[in-house]
Structure 1
Amino acid sequence: MEQDHGVRNVNKSTFGDFIDFDLRVVDSWRQCRISGTALAMLGGSAKMSGLKAFEQYEADIKQIAASLLATKSGNGRLAIISSDI
């Protein structure tokens, strides 16, 4: 089955240094969250704000999140993508 990936509802979280977003994998939308630390790691030495970094690395984030969704189960929400998990 072909996988259809997309992102919507990208927002800075009101809780901590996170970006919340919905990720479409195959035929369903899943709520996801990525930490500012993880975004900084994707960017290496680049200094960007959270939402700008998310835009820059959206393809990588979608690939990582889709991979985790394929291997993890939960209550409909993906575990936080962070450098410390």
Structure 2
Amino acid sequence: MRHSAPLITAAAGILALSFLSYATGGVVFLKELGVGTALTILVDATLIRVVLLPVTMRLAGRANWWAPNRLRRLRVREGDVLRGEYV
């Protein structure tokens, strides 16, 4: 998350601005849609991704990384790839 956060935040800002452009039109429905969608995107980019997601991951602990046995066997370990044992 540390590496992708600036990119996701910038994309959310651009998307919110594009939906806010609907607010400049003459149709009331599009104005409401644009403002509502832009606010939703901004709340998602700030509150949910900055506060709620880390708290939820902290509370879930190891359950974040749970996988069924079949998928767990297919997992490639990073160290194996770096040592050339997997390839």
For the superposition of Structure 1 and Structure 2, which TM-score range results when normalised by the shorter chain? under 0.3
Q: If the length of structure 1 is used for normalisation, what is the TM-score?
A: 0.26
Higher-Rg member (1/2)? 2
Indicate the structure whose relative CO is greater, using CA pairs within 8 Å and at least 6 residues apart: 1
Q: If the length of structure 2 is used for normalisation, what is the TM-score?
A: 0.25
